[in-house]
Structure 1
Amino acid sequence: MAKLSLAPKTIKYLMFIFNLFFVITGIVLLSIGAVIHGVYHQYQHFLDNRFFSVPSLLVAVGSIIFIIAFFGCCGAVRESYCMIITFCTLLAAIFLLEIIGGIMGYVMRAQVASIAQQKMLDTMPRYNNSYEIQFVWDNLQRDFHCCGTINATDWTNTAKLSGIPMSCCDDTIGAIGMSNCTLSSENLHEVGCIDAFAKFAETHAAKIAGVGIGLGIIQLIGILLSSYLAKSIKNCYQTM
């Protein structure tokens, strides 16, 4: 086997270091994808299926990265042209997937409000008929200290309910017996849920965009390193 000269050897060791960072990016992608998928799942009734595709993509890419890192390490150790080329090709594919994921995350930011608002308005009339819808709405209104889609009157005007849910009001400390939540209650959540929830979802979409593009740039460096190493290995064989 032809041995590499000093400069390609430096690239070889740099590839080992890069693969370490590459595995770390895989762990980051897996973690962020799983966390955001879990967060979105809590409010799946208010989101379109497209919002679940991107965090699922991050989880898939994060898992594949461990396989790709194997080709990179083995290819560098054995100075195998084929393994380095395989690593470079797979890394380029992952790079494109992450850029696509980043772009999709950015595009979704502009669609959050309109999609979530319509979903909210559609689920409100089912509040009394579905425990699942009731559970999601109550959690949403308590977590974000909001009430209704636009405001509290949505429960009587849009949902056609006789009153508004108790989750629209803060719990009264020291209250004994039954308490009611009305439009005139002092502890009523006056803010509508669409603004708070849209901001919440936009923040997570922005995280997806930032992670996808940021890690894509890091992996672009890996593509350049592996391409140079593969070229050096090929040249060594040609000069034998």
Structure 2
Amino acid sequence: MCFIVKYVLLIANFIFTLAGLTLLGLGIAALVNTSDLSGVATTPLNAIAISIIVLGAVVFFIAFFGCCGSMKENRCLLLTYALCLLLLAGAKIYLTVLMFNGADSVGELVEEWITKAFNNNELRDTFHAIENTFECCGTNGPYSYIGVLPALPPSCCPDNVSQCESSNAYGGCINIVTDFLSKYSGVFGSIFASILAVEFVAMLFAVMLACNIGGKRRQNV
């Protein structure tokens, strides 16, 4: 039984080590790309990239402990791995609660960010990219552009429209982006809960293997 537990932990944590390195690479690439955009350094785009880097580093180091601990049958590394998983599980529980109950704060963050991007001329191209991505127009609809631009930008309307006008423009970006994030926050919360269950199983396996190693050592004394 402990032989199976050992190699299940070894293979699983080797995969998680590679996943952590992949997240690190993606996060660094995203951070480089977002930092090239003027004025975006303090926006959620940069925060998301940094979060991915931190997550990748945490996953890598924890999985490295589990991989080495199971391969070397090192009781200290296995218990450290189990403790790290326990702390990580606690953090995920907190994040999952925020995902399900933080709709109001998400809406406030989106409104603040989109309003700043809309009012900053240096971020105009970035804002039009947001409009293209989420199929939205202005902060609260096409009327947001009154007194800002002489005509609505093409990003405010579908591609098949010959002339972009208020009558065929998309809705406001604040509501559309907030609805998108609120919709998928439940999906992310469910993913976190699933990962949490896997982590508890891995933590249980690590403790079982560590106890078995300790028992063998006592028998050999």
TM-score, structure 1 length as denominator? 0.68
Residue identity matched to 2:79? I
User: What residue is the counterpart of 1:223 in the other structure?
Assistant: 203
**Can you give the 5+ residue segments of structure 2 that lack an aligned partner in the other structure?**
none
Give 1:87's aligned residue. 81
* Mean Cα deviation higher: 107-116 or 26-35: 26-35
- Tell me what 1:193 maps to: 173
Partner of 2:142, secondary structure, is coil
Partner of 1:63: 57
The separation in 2 between residues aligned to 1:209 and 1:143, in whole angstroms, is 23
Distance in 1 separating the partners of 2:151 and 2:159: 14
Per the alignment, residue 141 of structure 2 pairs with: 151
Measured after TM superposition, the shift of residue 115 of structure 1 is 3.0
Aligned equivalents of 2:174 and 2:139: distance in 1? Answer: 5
Cα 1:166–1:17 shift into 2, 3 Å: closer
Which fold has the larger relative contact order, with Cα–Cα distance below 8 Å and residues 6 or more apart in sequence? Answer: 1
Change in Cα spacing, 1:37 to 1:210, as seen in structure 2 (3 Å) is farther
TM-score w.r.t. the length of structure 2 is: 0.72
Correspondence 1:16-95 to 2 at 5 A = 16-23=10-17, 26=20, 53=47, 56-95=50-89
Larger Rg: 1
Tell me which residue corresponds to 1:4: none
Task: Give the superposition deviation at 1:51.
Answer: 7.8
Identify unmatched segments of 5+ residues in structure 1.
Answer: 1-6
Percent of matched pairs sharing the same residue? 20
Partner amino acid for 2:144?
A: D
CA contact (8 A) 2:14 2:67 kept: no
- Alpha-carbon distance, 1:235 to partner: 1.5
Q: Is the 8 A contact 1:42 1:136 kept in 2?
A: no
Superposed CA RMSD in Å reads 4.0
Residue of structure 2 in register with 1:161 after alignment: 148
Q: State the aligned residue count.
A: 218
1:226, distance to aligned residue in structure 2 (A): 0.5
